Amino acid sequence: MQLRELLGVLRARWRTVAACLLLVVGLTAAVTVTTTPNYTASARVYLTIERPADQARGDAGGVSVMRYNDLKTLAEVLYSPTVMEPLRAELGLPPGAGVGVSLNISENASVMDVVGSSSDPRLAAAIANTTGPVLAKVAVQFSPLLSQSAPNATCVSITKAAAPGLPTSPNVRRNLALGMLIGLALGVGLAMVRHAMDTKVRTEADLKVASDRPVLAKIPLEASAVDHPLTIESDPHGAHAESIRRLRTNLMFVDVTTGKHSFVLTSAMPGEGKTTTTINLALAIADAGSRVILVDGDLRNPSVAKALGIEGGVGLTTALLGRASLAEVIQPWGETGLSILAAGEIPPNPSELLGSRPMAELFEKLAADFDFVLIDSPPLVPVIDAVLLQRLTGGLVMVVAAERTRKKDLATALTSLRTVDVAPAGFVLNFVQVDASDSYRYGKYRYQPSQADTNSTPAPRKAPSALGTRASRRQARRAGS
Ligand SMILES: Nc1ncnc2c1ncn2[C@@H]1O[C@H](COP(=O)(O)OP(=O)(O)OP(=O)(O)O)[C@@H](O)[C@H]1O
Ligand SMILES: [Mg+2]
C-alpha cells in the first residue's frame, strides 16, 4: 500500500481511528483513576561492622564496611521472618501484614538503596528508613564469619527517605501516552481491515483514496430518474437536478483551466449513470444559455437517442461515413441551445472510428460551432473508446456508482488512464443514498423557485420526445395541482 493510499484510508476512516483512540484512552483513564496509588521512597545506607579486639587471636579489632557479598546475602534473606517480623514490629504493623521493600545494592560502592513502597506515603518512607537498621541487627545471624567474631553491625544513613508527594504508580502520563499509542494502532489497524474488506466504492472518501482528483458532484439516487431520466426538465428543483447544476458549476471551473469547453463522461463499468448524467448536464448547460452539442460516443451501446426519444439511426457514424453532412444529422432539442448528435448505425470497429482523423476533424467542427461539447462514452474497463475521445476533449469525467462500483474496477480504470498519461478532470459520485438529514434538506425544505427563476425555467420542449412529453405532462400535472 502506497503512502497516498494509506493517508486516503485514514482520511476516509478517521471516525474509526478516532473511536478506537477515544475508547482506549477512555478505558486507560478509567483504569488509571480507579487504581489505588502506590508511593515509593528510597533511603541510601551502608552497614559497618565493629569487631572487638581479640588478644588470643591477635586481632586488634576495628570498624569495616560490609561488602557486596554480605549485602547480597542480606538481600536474599530480606523476606524471611527473621527480618520481616522485627521490621513489622518496628513499623507498628500487625503480624503477617505485607511490607513492600526491596534492596538495590551497589557492587562497587558497598552502599545499598532501601526502597519502601506502600499506598501510604509516610509508611513507604518509614519502611525505607527502618529496614536498614533492622538488617544491621540481624546481619550477624547470616554470616558465619561475623557470628564467630561476635561483631556489632551498624546501619549508617547516607540519605534518609522522605514521604513522597506523588505516587509512583499509576503513572498517569505514561498510561495515557500508552493508551493513545495502543488506541491509534488499533484504530489504524481496524481502518485498514475495514478498507480491505469493503470492496465497493461508497463515499466521496473512497474516491479520495483512489485518486487525488476532485469530486465534482454527488448525485443522489433518484428513483424517479429511471422513468424520467431528464430530471432537469421533469423535476428542475429536485435534488437530482440541483446536483447536476452543481456539476455544471464545478465543470466550469475545470473548463477555465483547460479552456477547451468539451468533456467526455465515462465510468469504469456499464450502468453507472454516464448517459443520464451527460444528458442532464447538457440540458443544464443549455439552460444557462450556452449552445451545447451532446454527442453519443458510445458506438457499442448507444442510448442517448433512446433516452431522449429521438431518432438514433442517423448521427455520428453517418457523418463519419460521409453519407450525410454534420448539419443534417444534428438534431435540435426543442427551443433550447441543446443539440444532439446521436450515434448513428453501430459500426463493427468503434475504436478505430473514434480514433480516426475524420473523427478529429468532425470534433473540431463541433467545437467551433458550439459553446460546449459533451460526449457520452462506453465504460473504460472493457474498452478504450473513452480514452480516444478524451484526446479530443478538454477533460474526462468519471462517473462512479456509489455502493455499486467495485474499488477493483475503479482502480483498473484509473490505472488504464494512468498508463496513457490521462488524469480525470474529476469524479461524479452517482446513486448517492440520501440520508435522513439530506432528505430533510432537499425534500421538506426543497428550494422553491422565485418568480424570476420560474420565468427562466426552460419552456416545455417541442422535440418529438416520448420522455419530453412525459416530462411536460408531469410538469403540467404539478402546475395544475
Ligand atoms: N442518480 C440516479 N438515480 C436513479 N437512477 C439512476 C441515476 N442515474 C442513472 N440512473 C438509472 O440507472 C440506469 C443506468 O443509467 P445510464 O444508462 O445513464 O448508465 P450508463 O452508465 O450510461 O450505462 P451504460 O454503460 O449501459 O451506457 C438507468 O436506468 C438510469 O435511469
Ligand atoms: Mg450509457
**Neighbouring residues of the ion ligand 2, judged by CB less than 5 Å:** 274-275, 303
- In whole angstroms, what is the distance from residue 302 CA to residue 344 CA? 8
Distances (CA, A) of 192 to 96, 188, 195, 254, 448: 53, 6, 5, 33, 44
- Which atom of ligand 1 approaches the CA of 267 most closely? 21
Share of the chain above pLDDT 90, in %: 68
Across the range 289-306, mean pLDDT stands at 96
Across the range 355-377, mean pLDDT stands at 96
Nearest to 241 by CA among 231, 251, 227: 231
pLDDT of residue 205: 85
Nearest to 137 by CA among 111, 150, 155: 155
Q: Which residue has the higher pLDDT, 445 or 84?
A: 84
Ligand 1 centre to CA of 470 (Å) is 18
Window from 122-131, 196-205, 364-373 with minimum mean pLDDT: 196-205
pLDDT of residue 1: 64
pLDDT of residue 51: 76
Ligand 2 centre to CA of 68 (Å) is 89
- Which atom of ligand 1 approaches the CA of 379 most closely? 25
pLDDT of residue 191: 92
Ligand 2 centre to CA of 4 (Å) is 32
Portions of the chain given CATH number 3.30.70.1130 = 39-159
Which band of pLDDT confidence, cut at 50, 70 and 90, is reported for residue 451?
A: very low
pLDDT of 413 > 80? The answer is yes
pLDDT of 36 > 90? The answer is yes
Neighbours of 294 (CB within 10 A): 29
- In whole angstroms, what is the distance from residue 269 CA to residue 382 CA? 7
- Which atom of ligand 1 approaches the CA of 399 most closely? 21
The DSSP code for 61 is: -
- In whole angstroms, what is the distance from residue 117 CA to residue 43 CA? 12
pLDDT of residue 62: 80
Portions of the chain given CATH number 3.40.50.300 = 204-480
pLDDT of residue 247: 97
pLDDT of 443 > 50? The answer is no
- Which atom of ligand 1 approaches the CA of 298 most closely? 27
Which band of pLDDT confidence, cut at 50, 70 and 90, is reported for residue 459?
A: very low
Ligand nearest to the CA of 223: 1
Ligand nearest to the CA of 296: 2
Which band of pLDDT confidence, cut at 50, 70 and 90, is reported for residue 143?
A: low
pLDDT of 266 > 80? The answer is yes
Ligand nearest to the CA of 276: 1
pLDDT of 391 > 70? The answer is yes
- In whole angstroms, what is the distance from residue 401 CA to residue 212 CA? 18
Q: Note the pLDDT tens digit of each residue in 113-124.
A: 999 999 999 999
pLDDT of residue 66: 85
Mean pLDDT of the chain: 87
- Which atom of ligand 1 approaches the CA of 222 most closely? 3
pLDDT of residue 186: 96
pLDDT of residue 148: 59
Looking at CATH, the fold of the domain delimited by 39-159 is given as Alpha-Beta Plaits (3.30.70)
Q: Which residues line ligand 1 (CB under 6 A)?
A: 219, 221-222, 225-226, 229, 240, 267, 270-276, 298, 301, 303, 379, 430-431
Window from 27-41, 223-237, 435-449 with minimum mean pLDDT: 435-449
- In whole angstroms, what is the distance from residue 34 CA to residue 163 CA? 22
Q: Which residue has the higher pLDDT, 246 or 2?
A: 246
Across the range 243-267, mean pLDDT stands at 92
Q: Note the pLDDT tens digit of each residue in 201-213.
A: 988 988 988 999 9
pLDDT of 481 > 90? The answer is no
> Where do the H-state alpha helices sit in 116-229?
121-142, 144-148, 172-197, 204-210
Q: Note the pLDDT tens digit of each residue in 187-205.
A: 999 999 988 888 899 889 8
Ligand 1 centre to CA of 273 (Å) is 3
CB 174 within 8 A of CB 54: no
Whether cis (ω within 30° of 0) applies to the bond prior to 229 is no
Ligand 1 centre to CA of 277 (Å) is 8
pLDDT of residue 53: 74
| Packing angle of the helix pair 274-287, 239-258 (nearest 10 deg) | 80
pLDDT of 103 > 50? The answer is yes
Across the range 355-373, mean pLDDT stands at 96
- In whole angstroms, what is the distance from residue 21 CA to residue 110 CA? 48
Ligand 1 centre to CA of 267 (Å) is 11
Domain 204-480 CATH superfamily: P-loop containing nucleotide triphosphate hydrolases (3.40.50.300)
pLDDT of 285 > 80? The answer is yes
Q: Which residue has the higher pLDDT, 147 or 224?
A: 224
